[in-house]
Chains A and B, each alone.
Chain A
Amino acid sequence: MSTTVFGTTEFFDTDYASLISTVCSKSEVRSFTKVFLPVAYSLICIVGLVGNIFVVMTFALYERTKSMTDVYLFNMAIADILFVLTLPLWAVNYAADKWIFGNFICKMAKGIYAINFSCGMLLLAFISVDRYIAIVQATKSFKLRARTLAYSKLICLAVWASAILISSSSFLYSESYDFATNETQICDHRFDKTSDSIVLKSLLLCLQVGFGFFIPFVFMIFCYAFIVKSLQQAQNSKRNKAINVIVLIVVVFLVCQVPYNTVLLMAVANMGKAEKSCDSDNIMAYAKYTTETIAFLHCCLNPVLYAFIGVKFRSYFVKIMKDLWCRRYKKYNKRSSRINSDIYLSRQTSEILTDNASSFTI
């Protein structure tokens, strides 16, 4: 026994100690995620739920013909609601530092998370396309939009179906398993021993950045650039406000999504590297969790950016609220508040610019 101890002392006291790579401890990151993520996720969940439920309610109680953007906004609100509903599970996961809900809920939570993330991003792209058709192709827009509106259910069904298909790998690969190094239960992607996991992981990350960021980004830039160009040609008092709203939408998208996607791309670049330092890996983890939270914040801002910024949506929303308030607290008063038929849920940022007998919907 004494010889063994002597032997080890001798071994570790030599220069060999510097040649030994030890496990990179993430205990500091864990103490950060234990506090920061549960708080952030809870706040995003509450704010996101309230804003998006308002959008769904206004849409459901709104009787006039809906525009294509209205339909997209409604679906985006549904996707955002489903997305934020998975956040409490992750809040508990990070607070407890282990997955306690079992394998089935792990697959469901990962799957729903992925479905709604991709669905939301896809709808952002579709909204910009619809606005492009409405404004830039204004002369043809009436016919075209009426036609697409007829297919609105089909288009939304296709969006949801593709979002589900995209996320099937999340259902397939996610599982709740025992992570031996930290002796804890985690819910994450897990690949077979036979498959090349580095390639699969990098591929998944690249595709996430590609479709979760670049596709909606390209569509938004292309469509909104043409919209702004068209608006500049129009002589209208509301023109500047409409341009400001578009700039705001693009800026918020960039501020929310660029940091997170940059970190994801850096993670892909680092994945192949043989010698990563523990310090930089810790910094990357902090950066990932912080930027991810900012990216999630986007779904709280969607109702504000796309619905509440519109004057028509706001006034209709106020009417509905008043109506509900009256029904609840003045039951004896049979006089129901009339909803002004002129006020209706606006499309997009909901400015209708009537100029030269053509209506521009931004």
Chain B
Amino acid sequence: MPGLSTKSLILASLLGLLLLLLCSTSQAQSNQDCCLSYSKVRLPRKVIKGFTEQLSGEVCDIDAIIFHTVRGLKACVNPKEDWVKKHLLFLSQKLKRMSM
């Protein structure tokens, strides 16, 4: 009987090892500025002077667009909203014009 429990113990540890194959340790950095939620109001196009893209695949957890306003505010907005898409299109066209 004690031999059986030893065997099952070894088996369990081997099983644990096998499961370990799936795992990974992560040491994610948590000292970077991030958008945590989205603005609930539309920003007028004229107050926006630029934007940055936040990707959920990187250190921050959500996808977001950060609009930089003329007053230095960094507003987080939802990239899935239509007005944001329109603003982004406008801004990128403006950028294209400027670079030409």
Contact = CB atoms under 8 A, between A and B. Distances in A.
Interface in A13-35: 16, 19-27, 29-30, 33
Given A118-B23, A207-B23, A20 B39 contact: yes
A201 interface: yes
Contact of A288 (B3, B30, B59): B30
- The interface residues of chain B, by DSSP majority, are classed as loop
A113 B29 CA distance: 14
Contacts of A177: 58
Given A22-B75, A125-B16, A186 B32 contact: yes
Interface residues of A, number: 85
Contact of B47 (A11, A159, A204, A276): A11
| Interface SS majority for chain A | helix
Interface string A168-211: 11100000010111101010111111010110010011011011
Interface string A98-133: 000000000000100110011000100110010011
A274 B36 CA distance: 7
Contacts of B98: none
Contacts of A221: none
Interface in B35-61: 35-41, 43-44, 46-47, 52-61
A277 interface: yes
B32 A181 contact: yes
B73 interface: yes
A348 interface: no
A191 B10 CA distance: 36
A278 interface: yes
Which of A24, A201, A210, A292 has its CB near the most chain B CB atoms (within 10 A)? A24
Nearest to B60: A181
Contacts of B40: 19-21
B21 interface: yes
Contacts of B43: 11, 20
Interface in B10-26: 10, 13, 16-17, 19-26
Given A180-B53, A204-B24, A21 B76 contact: yes
B52 A219 contact: no
Given A11-B47, A197-B57, A205 B73 contact: no
A356 interface: no
A22 B73 contact: yes
B33 interface: yes
A137 B31 contact: no
Interface string A132-158: 110011011000100000000000001
B6 A140 contact: yes
A292 B53 CA distance: 29
A215 B22 contact: no
Which of A22, A94, A182, A210: most chain B Cβ within 10 A? A22
Interface in A255-310: 271, 274-278, 281, 284-285, 288-289, 292
A144 to B, nearest CB: 7
Interface stretch (A2-10, A315-323, A337-345): A2-10
Given A24-B35, A162-B21, A182-B32, A219 B13 contact: yes
A212 interface: yes
A362 to B, nearest CB: 18
30 contacts: A7-B44, A8-B44, A8-B46, A12-B71, A19-B39, A20-B73, A21-B35, A22-B73, A22-B75, A90-B27, A117-B25, A118-B20, A122-B20, A133-B6, A137-B6, A158-B17, A159-B17, A166-B24, A166-B25, A180-B53, A181-B60, A182-B32, A188-B29, A189-B26, A198-B56, A201-B61, A204-B23, A211-B19, A211-B23, A285-B30
Interface of B: 2-3, 6, 9-10, 13, 16-17, 19-41, 43-44, 46-47, 52-61, 66, 69-71, 73-76
Given A90-B27, A215-B20, A281-B36, 4 more contacts: A20-B40, A23-B35, A137-B2, A181-B34
For the complex of A and B, 10 pairs with smallest distance between CB atoms? A207-B23, A191-B57, A19-B41, A169-B24, A285-B30, A276-B36, A23-B74, A197-B57, A114-B25, A211-B23
